[in-house]
């Protein structure tokens, strides 16, 4: 029971990070029907931004409060990463919006390579460590010399994920920007005829997705304490898998898919072989899509005749 509880805690934590990244995928795909394969590397860049500013605040400026430093780092990472994704949308995606369907996909893959190689050149190929942050734990259950614990870092990740999911759901469902996003998702041409600024709406969607990726990058850095230039690929693929599993275009579906992927990985690693955890996750994705092609919470696509 103690091992089960510990793996459950670890799976929810990992899944929360996947879910935050997956929301960016599902928002962009829902509006313009494009898979932004550079999103995983935007997440990786945000982790490096968070590391640089955290070290700057704690060592150079002498901010002693870890909570204050983390809040400042998260806000700065959200702003800079949102600005980066806005520039990527303007330069790499908007000129190709009316082109054939593969053109934006190729451009996204190119941007992914550019970001990864830029960080590799600028920061080096080695792992970049961060001093331990929020190192305390709470013991939930202990038996046979094994303790099931939850750390303050895990609690932070759970709370931030829940708050951001609720906040972004409110933005999409209850605000003028959300109505514009849903209108663009249904029919961009009709939305433009009705006065919706489609270009502005799409740009803000990219900024919102990048802001969530920045939060995920900061939490990822806080949780693991290390970041590498190649850390954008695997979490990015897992997050995209989570978005597809939960139902592409659905915000709660993206988080649900992320939690499921995280739980599958951790339970498979704990009870079977860690070498095949990715095989297990993608196998369950394939099984779900066979019986539910739209994903768990996705809406079936209606073809207009």
Task: Break the chain into its structural domains and give their ranges.
Answer: 2-229
Give the span between the Cα atoms of 188 and 73, in whole angstroms: 36
Could you tell me which of 269, 157, 166 has the C-alpha nearest to residue 221? 157
Residue-wise pLDDT tens for the chain (305 aa)? 778 888 899 999 999 999 999 998 888 888 877 888 899 999 999 999 999 999 999 888 888 888 889 999 999 999 999 999 999 999 988 888 878 878 888 999 999 999 999 999 998 888 888 888 888 888 888 887 778 888 889 999 999 989 988 888 898 888 999 899 889 888 888 999 888 899 999 999 999 999 999 999 999 999 998 999 988 888 888 888 888 888 887 888 888 999 999 998 888 888 887 878 888 888 888 888 888 888 887 766 655 54
How many beta carbons lie within 10 A of that of residue 79, not counting itself? 15
Q: In degrees rounded to 5, what are phi and psi of residue 150? A: -130, 130
Cβ-contact 142, 148 below 8 angstroms: yes
Distances (CA, A) of 146 to 4, 77, 142, 268: 12, 37, 6, 19
User: Which pLDDT belongs to residue 303?
Assistant: 53
CA separation for the pair 284, 164 (Å, rounded): 27
Distance CA 254, CA 277 (A): 20
Judge whether 298 and 242 are in contact, CB under 8 Å: no
Residue 4 backbone phi and psi in degrees, to 5 = -60, -45
CB atoms within 10 A of CB 138: 11
Neighbour count for residue 186 (Cβ, 10 Å): 11
Q: How many Cβ atoms from other residues are within 10 Å of residue 127's Cβ?
A: 13
**Nearest CA among 5, 2, 10 for reference residue 264:** 10
Closest CA to 15 of 200, 202, 245, 293: 245
The structure's pTM equals: 0.90
- CB 25 within 8 Å of CB 41: no
């Amino acid at each position: 029971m103690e091992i089960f509880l510990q793996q459950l805690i670890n799976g929810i934590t990992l899944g929360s990070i996947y879910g935050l990244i997956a929301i960016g995928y599902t928002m962009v795909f829902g509006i313009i029907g494009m898979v932004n394969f550079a999103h995983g590397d935007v997440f990786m860049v945000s982790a490096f931004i968070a590391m640089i500013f955290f070290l700057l605040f704690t060592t150079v400026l002498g901010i002693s409060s870890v909570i204050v430093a983390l809040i400042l780092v998260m806000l700065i990472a959200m702003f800079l990463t949102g600005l980066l994704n806005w520039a990527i949308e303007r330069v790499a995606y908007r000129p190709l919006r009316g082109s054939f369907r593969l053109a934006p996909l190729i451009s996204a893959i190119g941007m992914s390579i550019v970001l990864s190689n830029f960080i590799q050149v600028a920061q080096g190929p080695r792992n970049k460590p961060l001093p331990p942050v929020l190192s305390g734990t709470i013991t939930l259950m202990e038996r046979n010399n094994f303790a099931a614990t939850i750390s303050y870092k895990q609690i932070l990740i759970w709370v931030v994920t829940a708050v951001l999911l609720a906040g972004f759901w409110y933005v999409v469902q209850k605000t003028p920007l959300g109505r514009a996003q849903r209108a663009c998702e249904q029919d961009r041409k009709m939305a433009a005829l009705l006065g919706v600024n489609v270009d502005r709406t799409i740009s803000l969607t990219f900024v919102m997705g990048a802001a969530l990726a920045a939060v995920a990058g900061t939490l990822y850095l806080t949780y693991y304490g290390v970041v590498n230039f190649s850390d954008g690929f695997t979490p990015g693929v897992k997050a995209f898998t989570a978005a597809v599993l939960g139902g592409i275009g659905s915000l709660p579906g993206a988080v649900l898919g992320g939690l499921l992927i995280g739980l599958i990985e951790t339970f498979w690693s704990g009870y079977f072989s860690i070498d095949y955890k990715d095989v297990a996750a993608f196998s369950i994705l394939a099984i779900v899509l066979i019986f539910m092609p739209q994903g768990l919470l996705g809406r079936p696509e209606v073809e207009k005749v």
